[in-house]
Amino acid sequence: MAAFTNEEYADIMMAYGRTDGNAREARRIYEKRFPNRRLLSRSTFQNTYRRLRETSNVQNNETRGVVVRHNVRFHEQILRLFEEDGTRSIRNVASLLEISI
């Protein structure tokens, strides 16, 4: 399976967060918002979220190629900000957390 770009992973997580973890609804929202992107399965949303929670990284181990330090609290904070307000932009969240994008 080909890896997604960081932008695609961010959009996948935003759609999944907006639906409170409903993969079927997240898929519908994602397809409506990004009609020219590849068609995703429901498991793509579920697996991406699971990897983020378990490894602090959305990339598959095969595609990642580097060891990443786990910072689950930080990623949970990012997700919480998007869950609080699904209209937030990535730039807004980065600004709130004082990180660069």
DSSP 29-64: HHHHH-TTSPPPPHHHHHHHHHHHHHHS--S-HHHH
pLDDT of residue 69: 60
Residue 70 binned pLDDT confidence (cut-offs 50, 70, 90): low
Q: Which residue has the higher pLDDT, 74 or 1?
A: 74
pLDDT of residue 62: 56
Residue 98 binned pLDDT confidence (cut-offs 50, 70, 90): confident
Mean pLDDT of 83-95: 88
CB atoms within 10 A of CB 38: 10
Q: Which residue has the higher pLDDT, 88 or 99?
A: 88
pLDDT of residue 1: 46
- The angle formed by the CA atoms of residues 77, 63 and 41, to the nearest 5 degrees, is 70
CB–CB of 69/56 below 8 Å?
yes
pLDDT tens per residue, range 14-63: 999 999 999 999 999 999 999 999 989 999 999 999 988 888 887 776 54
Task: Give the chain's mean pLDDT.
Answer: 85
CB–CB of 41/49 below 8 Å?
no
